[in-house]
């Protein structure tokens, strides 16, 4: 018999439900605001959601293992600062500065992972502490100075398009596919699910638990660094308060997409749906005249509600 690609049945159901809700929301919003369904607007939304989207990919991995990373927003800020600072003050050539910033991000994530696995500090506590530290470092290094005046080619990533598709969105899509395939089809992905479902059994099954955790936290830092690069390129300046509040959007996207906050289940495709829904929410609110700050109220509500619903569904299933 030819092997059929299978997903656990209930998970497939959750995602189709989400996709259906998404489709309905799109139609409703399109009917309500004419400007919404134009390709221009949709592509622009795609551009705007990339930063969160990039970080949401490794965050999905992390939450599947039952962990969490609250320091992502702070790492974005730190990398943004390091990019501007190393270029402006150290005099690095810009490409080097970009690589440096990415390196800082990866290092920041690596530190998280190292202490979580070696010293067994719970991820929640560790990343709250590094949230404070990394944000503080961003402030200290920048001394609240902004950096501007990047060369034109620098903005291609954040503001340019390739065949009509925003550059960063293209990158995001590629990474989504990579992450999704990795999670679904590789030993790495299987290890993540095992760790989340029963870490002890995963260890006893000779899976590389610590190494895997180290990788995902480092990836989280790296993704935050990449998001910083995209962000700076998009808004043309570097500021120390960049990335503030990102952790909310990222975690909300992952959880909304069906990943259980307790670990053991979730998919990249679900996260993508969650991501789109959040962006949709923001766009819809903006189109109805709600100011930017108020959207976080809705995101907060969405986060709590989705965890509540997921949790009660889980309990009913047991």
Partner 1 sequence: MSATTFVAVTTARSGTLRRFASQEALLAVAVIGLAIVVGFINPRFLAARNLSDLLLGNAYIAVAAVGMSMVIVSGNIDISVGALIGVLATLSGSMAVAGIPIALCWLTPLIFGVAVMAAQGAVVAYLRIPAIVVTLGMMSILKGGLISVTGGKWITDLPQKFHLADLNLFGAPMPVVIMVVATVLAALWMRYSAAGRAIYATGGNAEAARLCGVNPRRTVVMVFALHGLFAGLAALVYATQLRVIQSTTPAGLELTVITASVVGGVSILGGVGTVVGSTLAAILIAEITSALVFINVSPYWTDAVRGALILATVIADIVRRQRRAARAWKR
Partner 2 sequence: MTDQAPSAAVPLLQVRDIEKTFPGVKALSGVSFEVRAGEVHALLGENGAGKSTLIKIVSGVYRPDSGAILVDGRERHFATPDDAKRAGVATIYQELLLFPELTVAENIFLGHAPRGRIGRIDWAAMRAKAEELLASLEIDDLAADMIVGSLSVGNRQRVEILRALSHDARILIMDEPTAALTESDVTRLFDIVRRLKARGVGIVYISHRLDEIFAIADRVTVLRDGAYVGAREVADTNASELVQMMVGRRIENLFPKTDVPIGPPILEARDVVRRPMTKSVSLTVRAGEIVGLAGLVGSGRSEFAQTIFGVTPAESGEIRLLGTAVKIESPESARAKGIAYVPEDRGVQGLVRAMSVLHNFSLAALNGLSHWGFIDRGAERRMAERGVERFSVRTSSVDEVAGRLSGGNQQKIVLGKWLANNPKLLILDEPTRGIDVGAKAEIHRLMGELAAAGVAILMISSELPEVLGMSDRVLVMREGRLVAEFDRAHATSEAVGAAMMGGDGQVEKAA
Written as six digits, the tokens of 236 are: 């043309």
Q: How many residues bind partner 1 (CB under 8 A)?
A: 49
Q: What are the residues facing 238 on neighbouring strands?
A: 147
The reply on whether position 135 binds partner 1 by CB under 8 A is yes
Interface pick for partner 1 out of 49, 68, 80, 268 (rule CB under 8 A): 68
The reply on whether position 120 binds partner 1 by CB under 8 A is yes
Nearest CA among 274, 272, 269, 268 for reference residue 309: 274
Interface pick for partner 2 out of 25, 42, 121, 203 (rule CB under 8 A): 203
Written as six digits, the tokens of 246 are: 């990102």
Interface pick for partner 2 out of 154, 193, 217, 269 (rule CB under 8 A): 193
The reply on whether position 286 binds partner 1 by CB under 8 A is no
The reply on whether position 142 binds partner 1 by CB under 8 A is yes
The reply on whether position 129 binds partner 1 by CB under 8 A is yes
Specify whether the CB–CB gap between 249 and 278 falls below 8 A.
yes
The reply on whether position 80 binds partner 1 by CB under 8 A is no
236-255 residues in contact with partner 1 (CB under 8 A) are 245, 247-248, 251, 255
What would the x/- binding string for partner 1 be over residues 181 to 220, using CB under 8 A?
Answer: ----------------------------------------
Decide: helix, strand or coil at residue 232: helix
Tell me which of partner 1, partner 2, none is bound by residue 198, counting a contact when its beta carbon lies within the kind-specific cut-off of 5 to 8 angstroms. partner 2
Indicate the pairing of strand 161-162 with strand 165-166.
antiparallel
Closest contact distance (angstroms) between CB of 296 and partner 2 is 34
Could you give the CA distance from residue 131 to residue 245 in angstroms, rounded to a whole number? 11
Closest contact distance (angstroms) between CB of 264 and partner 2 is 6
CA angle at residue 62 from 56 to 64, to 5 degrees? 100
Specify whether the CB–CB gap between 44 and 158 falls below 8 A.
no
Specify whether the CB–CB gap between 73 and 131 falls below 8 A.
yes
Half-sphere exposure of residue 153: CA atoms within 13 angstroms, side-chain side: 3
Could you give the CA distance from residue 205 to residue 183 in angstroms, rounded to a whole number? 19
Segment lying near partner 2 (by CB under 8 A), choices 89-97, 99-107, 179-187, 273-281: 179-187
Helix or strand (DSSP H, E) at 46: helix 39-48
The reply on whether position 18 binds partner 2 by CB under 8 A is no
Closest contact distance (angstroms) between CB of 270 and partner 2 is 17
Decide: helix, strand or coil at residue 93: coil
Could you give the CA distance from residue 247 to residue 59 in angstroms, rounded to a whole number? 9
Q: Which residues of this protein are in contact with partner 2, per CB under 8 A?
A: 3, 5-6, 8, 185-188, 190-191, 193-194, 197-198, 200-208, 264
Q: Which residues contact partner 1 (rule: CB under 8 A)?
A: 68, 70, 115, 119-122, 124-126, 128-137, 139-140, 142-144, 245, 247-248, 251, 255, 261-262, 290-291, 293-301, 303-304, 307-308, 311-312
């Amino acid at each position: 018999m030819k092997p059929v690609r299978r997903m656990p049945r209930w998970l497939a159901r959750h995602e189709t439900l989400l996709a259906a809700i998404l489709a309905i929301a799109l139609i409703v919003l399109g009917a309500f605001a004419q400007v919404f369904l134009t390709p221009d607007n949709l592509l622009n939304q795609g551009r705007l959601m990339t930063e969160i989207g990039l970080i949401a990919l490794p965050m999905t991995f992390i939450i599947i293992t039952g962990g969490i990373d609250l320091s992502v927003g702070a790492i974005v800020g730190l990398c943004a600062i390091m990019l501007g600072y190393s270029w402006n003050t150290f005099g690095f050539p810009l490409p080097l500065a970009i690589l440096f910033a990415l390196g800082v991000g990866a290092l920041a994530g690596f530190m998280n992972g190292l202490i979580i696995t070696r010293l067994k500090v719970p991820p929640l506590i560790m990343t709250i502490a590094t949230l404070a530290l990394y944000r503080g470092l961003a402030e200290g290094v920048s001394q609240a100075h902004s950096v501007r005046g990047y060369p034109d080619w620098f903005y291609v990533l954040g503001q340019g398009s390739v065949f009509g598709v925003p550059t960063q969105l293209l990158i995001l899509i590629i990474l989504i596919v990579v992450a999704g395939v990795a999670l679904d089809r590789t030993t790495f992905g299987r290890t993540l699910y095992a760790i989340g479902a029963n870490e002890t059994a995963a260890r006893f099954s000779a899976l590389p638990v610590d190494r895997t955790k180290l990788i995902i936290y480092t990836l989280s830092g790296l993704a935050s660094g990449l998001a910083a690069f995209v962000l700076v390129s998009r808004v043309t300046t570097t500021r120390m308060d960049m990335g503030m509040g990102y952790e909310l959007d990222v975690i909300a996207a992952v959880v909304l997409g069906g990943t259980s906050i307790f670990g053991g289940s979730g998919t990249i495709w679900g996260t993508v749906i969650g991501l789109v829904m959040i962006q949709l929410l923001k766009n819809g609110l903006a189109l109805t005249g709600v100011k930017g700050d108020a959207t976080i109220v809705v995101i907060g509500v969405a986060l709590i509600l989705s965890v509540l619903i997921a949790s009660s569904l889980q309990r009913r299933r047991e």
